[in-house]
């Protein structure tokens, strides 16, 4: 029926963070689902599609997950958990300076979205295909993460390091930079993941500190 359809993601093979899910058929199912859900969406992927990609009968999936929805729910849960725990770990490593803390959070946020773009897309877009019940755990984790960043930003403001035109919009902009990575970025020699993280850290600091007045003197990339 449908002619050649565009893939949402540039990146090729979908991978799950190594220790987030144990090896085995269950993990294989999750990785295949990740690939397909990221590129065609949850509703654009059939159980038969998944089974075919796994070289399994559709019915075999039901020994591992009670429904297609539960596969998505698990991906969304894992994605949120990996993200939240990475943020927490970054914060613990960062010391007490809110600028350092913010940089650490942005770095981790960027690295995760650049390293696991499929998971990022599924977590951010396909969560809306979940019932309220199945989405709830992930949404709770998400709210925690937002609160974490908010707290750091607010401390930075209180200590005179940051100055925001509007808190909600600025926080959203900070998040958006990361969230959109899967749609344009592909790791390359010119811009490996770490370099992208450096750029995003720099951009984040620009967002949070006021701009210079007038024209710019110093050297910076022009190309």
Partner DNA sequence: GATGAATGAGCATTCATTCAT
Partner DNA sequence: TATGAATGAATGCTCATTCAT
Binding site for a copy of itself (CB under 8 A): 2-8, 39-44, 69, 125, 127-133, 135, 157-170, 172-173, 175-177, 179-181, 184-185, 191, 195-196, 198-200, 202-203, 205-207, 209-212, 215-218, 220-223
Query: How far does Cα 105 stand from its chain's mean position?
Result: 12
Contact, 99 vs 153, CB < 8 A? no
The mark string for 39-78 relative to DNA (x by CB under 7 A, - otherwise) is: ------xxxxx-----xxxxxx-xxx-xxxx---------
Q: Which does 22 bind (CB under 5 to 8 A by kind): a copy of itself, DNA, none?
A: none
Q: In this complex, which beta carbon is closest to DNA, that of residue 70 or of residue 155? A: 70
Q: Which does 18 bind (CB under 5 to 8 A by kind): DNA, a copy of itself, none?
A: none
CA distance 90 to 148: 11
Name every residue whose Cβ is closer than 8 Å to that of residue 204 and which is 6 or more positions away in sequence: 102, 103, 106, 174, 177
Interface residue with DNA, options 25, 151, 163, 188 (CB under 7 A): 25
Q: In this complex, which beta carbon is closest to DNA, that of residue 56 or of residue 193? A: 56
- Kind and range of the H or E run holding 90: helix 68-93
Q: Which does 27 bind (CB under 5 to 8 A by kind): a copy of itself, DNA, none?
A: none
CA distance 202 to 99: 11
Query: How far does Cα 112 stand from its chain's mean position?
Result: 6
Least CB distance from residue 128 to DNA, whole Å?
Answer: 16
Least CB distance from residue 18 to a copy of itself, whole Å?
Answer: 26
Rule CB under 7 A: say whether 216 interacts with DNA.
no
Q: Which does 128 bind (CB under 5 to 8 A by kind): DNA, a copy of itself, none?
A: a copy of itself
CA distance 75 to 65: 12
Least CB distance from residue 134 to DNA, whole Å?
Answer: 11
- Kind and range of the H or E run holding 40: helix 25-40
- Kind and range of the H or E run holding 47: helix 47-54
- The owner of tokens 């592909």 is 186
Query: CA geometry: angle at 141 spanning 69 and 166, to 5°?
Result: 120
Using CB under 7 A, list all residues that contact DNA: 1, 24-26, 45-49, 55-60, 62-64, 66-69
């Amino acid at each position: 029926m449908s002619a050649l359809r565009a893939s949402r993601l540039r990146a090729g093979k979908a991978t799950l963070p190594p220790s987030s899910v144990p090896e085995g058929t269950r993990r294989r199912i999750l990785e295949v689902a990740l690939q397909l859900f990221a590129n065609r969406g949850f509703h654009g992927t059939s159980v038969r599609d998944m089974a075919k990609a796994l070289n399994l009968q559709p019915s075999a999936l039901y020994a591992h997950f009670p429904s297609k929805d539960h596969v998505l729910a698990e991906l969304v849960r894992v994605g949120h958990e990996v993200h939240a725990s990475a943020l927490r770990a970054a914060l613990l490593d960062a010391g007490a300076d809110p600028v350092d803390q913010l940089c650490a959070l942005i770095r981790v946020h960027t690295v995760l979205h650049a390293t696991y773009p499929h998971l990022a897309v599924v977590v951010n877009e396909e969560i809306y295909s979940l019932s309220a019940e199945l989405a709830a755990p992930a949404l709770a984790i998400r709210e925690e993460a937002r609160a974490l960043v908010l707290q750091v930003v607010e401390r930075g403001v209180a200590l005179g390091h940051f100055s925001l035109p509007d808190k909600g919009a600025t926080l959203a902009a900070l998040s958006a930079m990361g969230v959109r990575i899967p749609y344009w970025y592909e790791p390359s020699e010119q811009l490996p993941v770490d370099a992208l993280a450096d750029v995003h850290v720099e951009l984040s600091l620009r967002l949070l500190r006021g701009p210079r007045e007038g024209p710019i003197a110093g050297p910076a990339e022009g190309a």
